[in-house]
Structure 1
């Protein structure tokens, strides 16, 4: 695992997530090619472990439905950085802007992904989302 591998892998994950959120794909279960089980999920006000595949898919399905309802079109990533922690684990973090087709900001937040390389390949072992900013209009 090197930073280039992690960045390429993360870009493929983000492409899938965007396609799901935009409605180009409906196979939410495909997210399990990128998320580990169990997985730690932490956001302002709550942290918890997702211990089963159906829990992971359920969380993502909820996000996908909310994004579609909001008219989601794309994610812009700013200040992205990948840090190798050892030969099988990396942290990928950045600022994520979720936008509609007319560039209205749906969400603006920082997130860190702990990515571990295991028998089935890299998987997100933990996702930590920072405080979200309220939508600010056009980006």
Structure 2
């Protein structure tokens, strides 16, 4: 089986993910808690894991509630923005890629209040690129 150059897939995923980042940070920094603009970046069902829990969100309503909770938590923390540190994209094949990034989250005064490393599995679906799974990595 010949080795394929997957750099075009990585560039495509990077562009898609950058749009997601811009949308998410824009909503959260504005204090908005309606996640509707984010829904097209995720597949349903989606699997999410942390050290504390494993969740499978099997409906758009469950995804909407989960994203709304995250946006509300950031609003409550006085969120002002995030910086994506050491952002890495690795194409696995023509239809999937891993995105790994450390988020440095800042409050409205510019002070960092949280760092979190996240691994996203993205898949090219009939609707375009979507996150199908995410994991918060242990520090």
SS of the equivalent of 1:2 reads: helix
Q: Which moved more, 1:25-34 or 1:61-70?
A: 25-34
Q: How many residues align?
A: 132
Q: Does 1:50 align with 2:57?
A: yes
Task: Find the counterpart in structure 1 of residue 67 from structure 2.
Answer: 60
Q: Select 1:101's aligned residue among 100, 108, 113.
A: 108
Deviation at 1:64, TM superposition (A): 0.5
With normalisation by structure 2, the TM-score equals 0.88
Task: Find the counterpart in structure 2 of residue 8 from structure 1.
Answer: 15
Partners of 2:44 and 2:60 within 8 A in 1: yes
Name structure 2 gaps, 5 residues minimum.
1-7
* Structure 2 Cα separation of the partners of residues 64 and 27 of structure 1: 8
RMSD value over aligned CA atoms?
A: 1.5
* Structure 2 Cα separation of the partners of residues 28 and 45 of structure 1: 23
Name structure 1 gaps, 5 residues minimum.
133-139
Cα deviations by residue, 1:64-90 (Å, 9 ceiling, x for unpaired)? 111111111111111111000000000
Q: Select 2:131's aligned residue among 92, 107, 124.
A: 124
With normalisation by structure 1, the TM-score equals 0.88
Q: Which moved more, 1:20-29 or 1:62-71?
A: 20-29
Deviation at 1:25, TM superposition (A): 4.9
Task: Find the counterpart in structure 2 of residue 70 from structure 1.
Answer: 77
